[in-house]
Amino acid sequence: MRVRHLLLVILAFTLPACAQARQKPYFLHLPGIGGERITEQWLLSGLKAGGVDAEYRMYDWTDGDIGLPALLAHDENIARAKKISELLATHIRNNPDQRVIVSSHSGGCGLAVWTLESLPDNLQIDTLVMIAPALSPQYDLTRALKHVKGRLYVFSSPADIVVGTGTRLFGTIDGVKSESAGLHGFVCPANADKEQYGKLVPLPYRNEWLPLYGNAGTHICAMRVVFARDFIAPLLLTGKIPTPTTRPAEK
């Protein structure tokens, strides 16, 4: 009986630990000003195919008010980000050992930044991904980066006219009429926290991405299934930038 009792005690302590070890990451995606479209599904499908086994959630912050109205609704977007932050904070508190990944595209990158800025000081996510961010390059990411344990990966492309000509004409998600960070990446402001900016990993477009992944550097190309599967997924799984030497098999 003593042996049986001892075994039950051991199981009581080890089973919860094993369950935690097997817990899938929580993956939150924030789409661009077009809301939940097929491009967002491409990204998530590619990540799943690439082995990122996660608890996926997409939050369409536009509430159906898509396009320029979503881009220009600065005050509403700040309020929307606050709501997302509250939901994310609740999830983190309820799942303190779960890895949390947030990805964002275009205008959604602004919502991602404001969401992290609104988190309580003691809460962090593990990884942040920005694809073609429609946020001004000089925006100070310090406050947001304080809520990131690991890395912020930023995908940019000089061929992306949406975050070039587009935001020079209509403005960035933070209300600046200039090119966005999605064109050439972010610039660290003079007063920013350089240590926090050390978490930022710039991923500018590379010409070999076209023959390898069908990524031509346009506004949605980094969302394509093959690129998500064969580049972004390995990046998230290993923390290393993929350096393939052969063309991946087409999906």
Sign, CA dihedral 135-164-39-224, equals: negative
Assigned domain for 212 exists = yes
Mean predicted confidence (pLDDT) in 186-208 = 97
Q: Which of the four pLDDT bands, split at 50, 70 and 90, describes residue 18?
A: very low
**CA 40 to CA 234: how far, in whole Å?**
18
Assigned domain for 20 exists = no
Give me the CATH number covering residue 64.
Answer: 3.40.50.1820
Assigned domain for 10 exists = no
Assigned domain for 57 exists = yes
Mean predicted confidence (pLDDT) in 14-19 = 44
Domain of 136, in residue numbers:
25-238
Assigned domain for 92 exists = yes
Q: Which of the four pLDDT bands, split at 50, 70 and 90, describes residue 23?
A: confident
The predicted structure's pLDDT at residue 5: 46
- Residue corresponding to tokens 């403005």: 171
**CA 95 to CA 20: how far, in whole Å?**
10
Report pTM.
0.88
Of 64-73, 137-146, 169-178, least confident by mean pLDDT is 64-73
Of 20-24, 170-174, 241-245, 246-250, least confident by mean pLDDT is 246-250
The predicted structure's pLDDT at residue 247: 53
The predicted structure's pLDDT at residue 132: 98
Assigned domain for 183 exists = yes
Of 8-22, 98-112, 129-143, least confident by mean pLDDT is 8-22
Listed residue (37, 76, 28) closest to 173, CA to CA: 76
Per the structure, the count of domains in the chain is 1
Assigned domain for 41 exists = yes
Interval 167-177: pLDDT, tens: 999 999 999 99
Assigned domain for 72 exists = yes
